[in-house]
Amino acid sequence: MNALIGERLSIINRKPQTTRHRILAILSDENFQIVFSDTPGFIDDPAYQMQEEMNKYVKGTFEDADIFMVVIEVGHRIPLDHSLLQKLKLVKVPLFLVLNKTDLYSDKEILSDIQYWSEHLNPVEIFPVSALNKKGTDKIVNLLLQYLPEGPAYYPKDQLTDRSERFFVSEIIREKCLSLYKQELPYSIEIVVTRFKHGTSKKGPIIFIDADIYTDRQTQKSIIIGKHGQAIKRLGSLARKDIEAFLDSRVHLELRVKVKEGWRNNQSSLKRFGY
Ligand SMILES: Nc1nc2c(ncn2[C@@H]2O[C@H](COP(=O)(O)OP(=O)(O)OP(=O)(O)O)[C@@H](O)[C@H]2O)c(=O)[nH]1
Ligand SMILES: [Mg+2]
């Protein structure tokens, strides 16, 4: 989705379950408006209420998508009896298949996948792409326009997303947690922006941002902070750089760590965290 709209809206990380919400990206032109909706990946055996909520975002797309665009990595042969594939075969709207990461695979492997998926999933279009190198992605928008139903624009032409700046700030911080902290730790983390205030400093305009990092155990809190606060300092400085680029402004970022035991299974916490 980022490659198609030319903005970095959805956070990216090699760890699975990076995307936890449904994020809209709106692409408008003189004659069209396409609303992309990035979702989490489907989780087969949800262990937490949070993951059930993530799956609900996926299920929601079956209600309202005008086109399904499924992204599968080349060479990833998901079992054909997988419930999601079965469901995708039955969708009434056009199904696009995007075979991603072509930069890592040979032409032979890519061709074999095109053949395999056209036989077993029967999408109306298949796009071998490298989202990383923006290769093969330029054709997609034109084809989407051919298959999309006509209708009035839902959003103002200058609106890029349905999410707030606060939301993206929290996502950027979470993205840095995913790359800085090991193994399971990032999965127990949620970010809440508690202050977002435009101000001025000696050097000119600045945005003051405070954010709470929630985790579900005291031991994790100390890991997040690190020895002499080194880990959280590094987190703050990496996140601030990306937030400044995203907001195109200087930023002062304050991070605090809090413990909320079992938040991933707590309905009111989940609601508060925007699930
Ligand atoms: N080599 C290569 N890597 C890619 C490409 N596209 C994405 N990646 C990498 O694949 C990993 C996963 O990317 P994400 O955007 O987080 O994938 P996702 O499908 O949204 O995954 P979740 O949000 O976790 O469900 C990241 O490490 C990306 O850098 C590509 O075209 N080529
Ligand atoms: Mg994602």
Residues with Cβ within 8 Å of residue 42, at least 6 apart in sequence: 55, 58, 84
Cα of 200 to ligand 1 centre, how many Å?
37
Asked if residue 260 and residue 135 are part of one domain, the reply reads: no
* 220 and 246 fall within a common domain: yes
Neighbouring C-alpha atoms within 13 Å toward the C-beta of 256: 11
Residue 139 shares a structural domain with residue 69: yes
State which residues form the domain around 254: 165-272
Mean pLDDT over 109-125 rounds to 97
Task: Assess whether 133 and 171 both reside in one domain.
Answer: no
pLDDT tens column, 10-45: 999 999 999 999 999 999 999 999 999 999 999 999
In whole angstroms, what is the distance from residue 172 CA to residue 164 CA? 13
Residues 143 and 35 in one domain: yes
Q: Which ligand is nearest to the CA of 12?
A: 1
Q: CATH number for the domain including 51?
A: 3.40.50.300
Average pLDDT rounded to a whole number, residues 120-141: 96
Helix (H) or strand (E) segment spanning residue 219: helix 218-225
Strand partners, 192: 212
Residues 218, 126 share a domain: no
Cα–Cα distance, 78 to 55 (Å, whole number): 18
174 Cα: distance to centroid of ligand 2 (angstroms): 13
What average pLDDT does range 136-141 have in this prediction? 96
Residue among 61, 74, 101 whose CB has most ligand 1 atoms within 8 A, to mutate: 101
Question: What's the pLDDT tens digit per position in 179-199?
Answer: 999 999 999 999 999 999 999
**109 alpha carbon, distance to own chain's centre:** 27
Q: Angle 139-141-8 (CA atoms, 0-180°, nearest 5)?
A: 105
